[in-house]
Amino acid sequence: MNTIKFNLDGKIVEIETEPFKRLIDLLRYDLNVMGIKEGCGEGECGACVILLDDKLVNSCLIAAGIIDGAKIETIDSIKETPLGKSIIEAFADFGAVQCGFCTPGMVVASYYILKNSAKLTEDEIRYKLSGNICRCTGYDSIVRAVLNVANTMGK
Ligand code: FES
Ligand code: FES
């Protein structure tokens, strides 16, 4: 077991863990961040995405031991930011949520894309969200929601 210390959604957390435990399991089951979802468990669906030191990563592919000293942002803090709230409102307005399973990952990925792109077209949003799978909506409503937020931001 190793002791790791990191910033989780703005709070410093110190916890003992097996270094090769999957980060998704540490966050969900040891630290109760249940907004992170597990779909495929092998880096294909995007349900588990988080920001690790400002980069979008699949938490099912990360070993807990490497996040010592890192900054982690999950849906829990992102949904409280002005941009996160705008994305969630747009998802509701455009009917971009059905079962909701993909939604936390979609919101985190959209937040990352909107923060880190100077300009966004519909095609670029579709491409940049292609790592996130939705089995319900057919994607059009999600892309329109994100495009609406981008337009509101002048992107
Ligand atoms: S659960 Fe991590 S990418 Fe699917
Ligand atoms: S809304 Fe059901 S998987 Fe996307």
* CATH code, 121: 1.10.150.120
Count the neighbouring beta carbons within 10 Å of the beta carbon of residue 150. 21
Residue 27 CA to ligand 1 center (angstroms) comes to 14
Same domain, 59 and 100: no
| Whether the Cβ atoms of residue 145 and residue 94 lie closer than 8 Å to each other | yes
Ligand 2: residue whose CA is nearest its atom 4: 134
pLDDT in tens, 9-30: 999 999 999 999 999 999 999 9
Is this prediction's pTM over 0.95?
yes
Task: Output the ligand 1 site: residues, CB below 6 A.
Answer: 38-41, 43-48, 58, 60
Residue 40 CA to ligand 2 center (angstroms) comes to 14
Same domain, 69 and 83: no
Tokens of 92: 């509701």
Same domain, 89 and 45: no
Helices (H), the chain: 23-25, 75-78, 82-93, 103-116, 122-128, 140-152
Residue 126 CA to ligand 1 center (angstroms) comes to 19
pLDDT in tens, 97-112: 999 999 999 999 999 9
